[in-house]
Amino acid sequence: MPSSPVPLPALGLIGFGAFGRLVAAHLAPLFSLRVHDPFAPDSAFAAAGLARCSLAEAAACPVVILATPVSTLAAVVRDVAPHLQPGALVLDVGSVKVRPAQIMRAGLPPGIDIVATHPLFGPQSARDGLRGLKIAVCPVRGDKAGRVGAFLRRALGLTVILTTPEAHDREAAAVQGLTHLIAKVLVAMEPLPTRMTTRSFDLVIQAVGMVRHDAPEVYHAIERENPYAAEVRRRFFDLAAEMDGALEDVETARAPA
């Protein structure tokens, strides 16, 4: 008799918003997904060919991904904790890492391995696939971070950056904090020119488009939950004010007496 196919390992996905759906699309061929999100519409599950399951069922999987906003992570961790199996691996996918690492370390049972991750892409930048895109992987508890990184490289083609939550947030305060801040300002200045543009201007507008439709929770997490973001913002605005002052001085010097 022909052998039965080997069943796919189970993976629990908590959260089925825009990024949760991106996660599901790429992991569905590799895992048997158990997805829980009481707020996602039935149409989202139907489009992905998945069935909604209970929190307990999703949290009982050997691997659990928390794809929820940083602002709700503490409540999700509290609700998930009683249903986790000993030795399970829990990962988050938030845009900041210091605070989520603290929340998971404090709220998840001692026997649970924890890896904090930050995919450095979103649904817009991943439209053409994941290969070559970057993901930060931060060990929080246990020794599975290396295996997580190896899987992400091998199975998904991602470029893995192994780092700490603190080092991640220091760099992300500039990389993401400034990108989203500048994008917010430029969107507020619209309409901007579209006909007589330079290549550099077009690239700036392209960058704005990549984050324009991010959920408000993403912007708030990047700017408010990152402990280093305020310092970067202050330096940016101070330097901008200094440059503005220098230009004002030039204009004053040129003015006729």
Please determine, for residue 100, whether its predicted confidence score (pLDDT) is greater than 70. yes
Find the mean pLDDT for residues 196-202.
98
Q: Are 172 and 95 in contact (CB under 8 A)?
A: yes
Domain co-membership, 174 together with 159: no
User: Given 3-state DSSP classes, what are the helix, strand and coil percentages for the chain, each rounded to the nearest 5?
Assistant: 50, 15, 35
pTM equals 0.90
Q: Are residues 86 and 180 in the same domain?
A: no
Mean pLDDT of 1-8: 69
Burial pattern 23-42, b for ≥16 Cβ within 10 A else e, equals bbeebbeebebbbbbeebee
Q: In which residue are the tokens 């230009």 written?
A: 247
In a domain, 4, yes or no: no
pLDDT, residue 230, reads 97
Q: Provide the CATH number for the domain around residue 104.
A: 3.40.50.720
Tell whether 143 and 46 lie within a shared domain.
yes
What pLDDT, on a 0 to 100 scale, did the predictor assign at position 34? 98
Residues 197 and 234 occupy one common structural domain: yes
Whether 153 and 33 map to the same domain: the answer is yes
Q: What is the pLDDT of residue 3?
A: 58
Predicted confidence (pLDDT) per residue in 56-77, tens digit = 999 999 999 999 999 999 999 9
Distance in angstroms (rounded) separating the CA atoms of residues 217 and 144: 29
**pLDDT range class, residue 257, cuts 50, 70, 90:** low
The total number of structural domains in the chain stands at 2
Structural domain containing residue 74? 10-163
User: pLDDT tens digit string along 112-166?
Assistant: 999 999 999 989 889 999 999 999 999 999 999 999 999 999 999 999 999 999 9
Pair 139, 173 in one domain = no
pLDDT, position 2: 56
In a domain, residue 156? The reply is yes
Same domain, 28 and 64: yes
pLDDT at residue 4 above 60? no
